[in-house]
Amino acid sequence: MLSDREVLSTLSMVKNEHLDVRTVTLGVSLLDCARESLSAFVDAVHARIITQARDLVAVCDEVGERFGIPVVNKRISVSPVAVAAAPFDARGMVEVACALDAAAREVGVDFIGGFSALVEKGMAKGDLALIEAIPEALARTERLCSSVNVASTRAGINMDAVALMGRTIKATAKATRERDGLGCAKLVVFANIPEDVPFMAGAYLGVGEPSSVINVGVSGPGVVRKAIDRAVAENPGIHLGELAEVIKRTAFKVTRVGEIIGREVARLLGVEFGIVDLSLAPTPNVGDSVGEIFQSLGLGAIGMPGSTAALAMLNDAVKKGGAFASTRVGGLSGAFIPVSEDRTIAQAAADGFLSLSKLEAMTAVCSVGLDMVAIPGSTSAETLSAIIADEMAIGVINKKTTAARIIPVPGKEAGERAVFGGLLGEATIMPVHPNPCCEAFIRRGGFIPAPLQSLIN
């Protein structure tokens, strides 16, 4: 028999605190679509996605309805296109991108990820073709997402790739300049990219993964915030250790929801269940913000002194609660701090509490990195690369995933607003150092060697 409290608290989590399953992502392998001609390959890719994902949206809606927990986004991740389409040139890669986008539209998913390359140790022909194709591919498509892994703890940082990605981001911004550089919001540069992330824009299906798999991204910043608020209301003198326990218990509940829905969707689609990604991912909705959690913990705004410590505590508590709740945890699993996608974080940046430097420091303890950060369109490619390199270094040295999803908004300067729309939100453009002298450093290229794995203090 269920108790009144159990039923009422679950209802409250769903209705008032925005508990949902943020994304169900179907991973589809394209590796056996290899064909000699581009048109045959594109046809095979299209057919594979349509066949595999035809029922994805309907099944997610049905399961979400049965459990009373909405599945907000249904997405697809595919094998890294730089591998699957390795023989083709950049023009061919753009065609593949368009085919992926068309297939995504046909099956009704909002994003398809995997226009990706893994180049941490060097760039093969397919990798170069894919990276060259990114600006046009993202400009000509609506739902396609792209990611490039340029660094890892085992390989070090491929600074040639970092330099190339700085130029690629600039070109992508230019190609989508009418929409504030929207293409860059769908392009991430990674260190230590996981193979099973269900969240965009970094989702792709790793080569070590099954042919098709369901990965689930749970969310629930609103639930965590409300749980903290309730605990503080009951005991205004509550200390941080007790609040960490509150966050842990809440993360447990949120993760259980993700696992039950993910397993049911996988069962109905007849594919394997992969992982639950425990990340707290905000949306631009009021009450669905990671930034608000900082306020509930007692900080005036995210970005103020204390923010890194608060984020470290939040991230760790989320992992602890989630790890106990699910047998299959993966992806990024932590707290996202995407500036434009979180109303409170965007406001803190607009108010000047959150600078690029503070954001970078916080990424040492969060689950992703510099995420959805709008910067002046005049920022040079080398400066972009230098920002990326800093972020990659944090990931490589700390043996964690970090990423940079930065948007140099064409024609706009610091203090102006960039609007990306929908889940991608909007943000005030953050200033970059007024006179960055990093060109010589970036132009050196080469590799920053992999770090020592012992003597780790």
What is the binding site for another protein (CB under 8 A)? Answer: 1-2, 4, 6-11, 13-15, 65-69, 253, 256-257, 259-260
Residue 374 φ then ψ, to 5°:
-90, 130
Choose between 2 and 452: whose C-beta lies nearer to another protein. 2
Q: Are strands 156-158 and 447-448 parallel, antiparallel or unpaired?
A: antiparallel
Other Cβ atoms within 10 Å of 358 Cβ, number: 18
Q: How many Å apart are CA 180 and CA 320, to the nearest integer?
A: 38
Choose between 203 and 227: whose C-beta lies nearer to another protein. 227
Choose between 38 and 223: whose C-beta lies nearer to another protein. 223
CB of 257 to another protein, least distance (A): 6
CB of 48 to another protein, least distance (A): 31
CB of 14 to another protein, least distance (A): 8
On the 0-12 / 13-18 / 19+ scale of CB atoms within 10 A, 130 is: buried
Other Cβ atoms within 10 Å of 442 Cβ, number: 21
Handedness of CA 132, 136, 137, 143 (dihedral sign): positive
Residue with tokens 């204390």: 306
Q: Are strands 144-152 and 156-158 parallel, antiparallel or unpaired?
A: antiparallel
Choose between 11 and 50: whose C-beta lies nearer to another protein. 11
339 touches 373 (CB < 8 A): yes
Q: Are strands 272-277 and 212-218 parallel, antiparallel or unpaired?
A: parallel
CB of 283 to another protein, least distance (A): 21
Choose between 184 and 224: whose C-beta lies nearer to another protein. 224
Q: How many Å apart are CA 361 and CA 394, to the nearest integer?
A: 9
Choose between 10 and 355: whose C-beta lies nearer to another protein. 10
CB of 11 to another protein, least distance (A): 6
**Of 226, 188, 158, whose CA–CA distance to 336 is shortest?**
188
Choose between 252 and 294: whose C-beta lies nearer to another protein. 252
CB of 246 to another protein, least distance (A): 15
Q: How far is CA 156 from CA 121, 162, 370, in A?
A: 8, 12, 19
Choose between 233 and 456: whose C-beta lies nearer to another protein. 233
Choose between 5 and 239: whose C-beta lies nearer to another protein. 5
The residues that bridge with 116 in the sheet, in sequence order, are 147
Choose between 265 and 366: whose C-beta lies nearer to another protein. 265
CB of 289 to another protein, least distance (A): 22
Choose between 41 and 252: whose C-beta lies nearer to another protein. 252
Choose between 204 and 252: whose C-beta lies nearer to another protein. 252
303 touches 359 (CB < 8 A): yes
